[in-house]
Structure 1
């Protein structure tokens, strides 16, 4: 019966409606990386004959050779570095670093930079570790010196540099010394000019709140997904440069000392290659001088697109937009200086 005023009242549920259980909504199936990889493999099988005819060209064969050679040379260093970095990040107490560093901030900066020798791993892992050091009471200047030095002066990266440049061990020496100088200089600069409110302290739940085994695998997955993907992009870019860009252009850029340094510094920022693999990419850029390639190796682990985005997300945009340009300028100037003297 309709109430007065002609307005229908609320519908009354029957006993059958009340007793009927509510069905949960079916979860939406999301396409993940495994499905994408399977689809690509199926396409490769279906299109293997057309692709084989396309790849048979001499330029594409050269591209494939450079791409595969960079990946094959760099992959073992990448895997070993990621695993060892995860072991140290998870199983070494973070309070150890605060106790091991000098109490005076100016002395803690070079000590933290040298501590990067004992932490093999790429720059993707150094960012969350540096944030953890700050949370554990380490002065930000020392943590930032560690962040810059660890991906560039650890034994895995230096060994990869020696292998990538056979007969030129001075490349590894120059890379290690120049990178350490840049890291310490930026730490002291932050100690002098940096402000605490520019840093938003990060939190890494997958390392902080999980068991050690789960945190270890989470760190491995995180670093492999980030570093491995950028390694593939970097290898493809290096192969493309060697094949697509006219040799006359490269010779023109490589022939000018200033332009060659600037070109490879910008390339290092754009390619965002993992530090365990960038030496093999630099070695393939034979048109450029050793000094320009040294700048590429010094800039890459300290300033690139993925690092800027990671630093902005973990420490805040105010930090990243100040720290990244200053680090780039210091890396270019110091790297070119050491290249001129040592190479």
Structure 2
């Protein structure tokens, strides 16, 4: 009874295009997502919390770039970086350095940069641009916090749900938590990317894409709304081929630092006063730095 209508619906070109975009994004992104979440759980559970206090320079201004660069060797998605940054602050690490790590780790770690290289095989400079821009944003925000931040804007975090577990159980608990949250946002992001390609008229996208200012702002805002995990966002950016490389670079720089899930997590971990100041400032700095790096590269 329903066979012919369903078959006709499935065979429509628009639905086939939607399915192709959705499946391609998921297939390419899931391995990086899983790998990143597992590494994040390892860092959260097995790396001693006192490690950073010993490894970072004592001078806060010097600790900021060191903590930012540490994202290269300590991979993790943004979901894991928020609680890790909270743990660092509780262990005495200067908030400026912890926040710089929070922004840098999800954006410049090897997993994310490798995923970006796979997603943009014909534009290797996108990997360089993403790494450079994200590192600069993290350091600028850390130094801005040193200059303008106040201790009473941060409510010190705690993860009591992991305190009484063995390391093995804590690892799996952290991994399950992050994979459920990050995986769900990945599915939504892939669906949104497919819908944009199918439902939004090409002339609308082209109108935005043809305007250098609007294209950057549009993709920056889209990154906030989609809330895609940083291990997967490069594949969504690659699918938005109507837009310039600079606009897509803004998408990749903003996304791991400011999105709806991060704002929510930062509010829960650090408090509303912190999130209300930190997220908008990070958004502005990320857009400006991405545009500057894009102007140099392209």
Query: The TM-score by the shorter chain falls in which range?
Result: over 0.9
Structure 1 CA distance, aligned partners of 2:174 and 2:8? 41
Structure 1 equivalent of residue 85 of structure 2: 130
Deviation by residue 1:282-307 (Cα, 9 ceiling, x = unmatched)? 00000000000000000000000000
How far residue 117 of structure 1 moved from its aligned partner, in angstroms, is 1.1
Q: Is 1:151 aligned to 2:102, yes or no?
A: no
Describe how 1:10-159 pairs up with structure 2 within 5 A.
Answer: 51-159=6-114
Of 288, 294, 298, the match for 1:333: 288
Of 222, 226, 232, the match for 1:277: 232
Deviation by residue 1:183-215 (Cα, 9 ceiling, x = unmatched)? 000000001100000000111123333110111
Question: Cα gap change, 1:91/1:177 in structure 2, threshold over 3 Å: closer, same or farther?
Answer: same
TM-score of the pair, normalised by structure 1: 0.85
Structure 2 CA distance, aligned partners of 1:218 and 1:53? 44
Structure 2 CA distance, aligned partners of 1:78 and 1:224? 8
Structure 2 equivalent of residue 172 of structure 1: 127
Structure 1 equivalent of residue 279 of structure 2: 324
How far residue 88 of structure 1 moved from its aligned partner, in angstroms, is 1.7
Structure 1 CA distance, aligned partners of 2:210 and 2:164? 53
Of 153, 166, 169, the match for 1:211: 166
Describe how 1:161-310 pairs up with structure 2 within 5 A.
Answer: 161-310=116-265
How far residue 167 of structure 1 moved from its aligned partner, in angstroms, is 2.1
Deviation by residue 1:238-270 (Cα, 9 ceiling, x = unmatched)? 000001000001111000000000000000000
Gaps in structure 1 of 5+ consecutive residues: 1-45
User: Which one is further off, 52-61 or 246-255?
Assistant: 52-61
Larger Rg: 1
Question: Cα gap change, 1:105/1:251 in structure 2, threshold over 3 Å: closer, same or farther?
Answer: same
TM-score of the pair, normalised by structure 2: 0.98
Deviation by residue 1:61-80 (Cα, 9 ceiling, x = unmatched)? 00000000000000000001
Structure 1 CA distance, aligned partners of 2:43 and 2:3? 43
Gaps in structure 2 of 5+ consecutive residues: none
- Bigger relative contact order (CA 8 A; separation at least 6): 2
Question: Cα gap change, 1:140/1:51 in structure 2, threshold over 3 Å: closer, same or farther?
Answer: farther
Structure 2 CA distance, aligned partners of 1:182 and 1:49? 54
Structure 1 CA distance, aligned partners of 2:163 and 2:2? 46
The structure richer in helix per residue is: 2
How far residue 222 of structure 1 moved from its aligned partner, in angstroms, is 1.1
How far residue 180 of structure 1 moved from its aligned partner, in angstroms, is 0.4
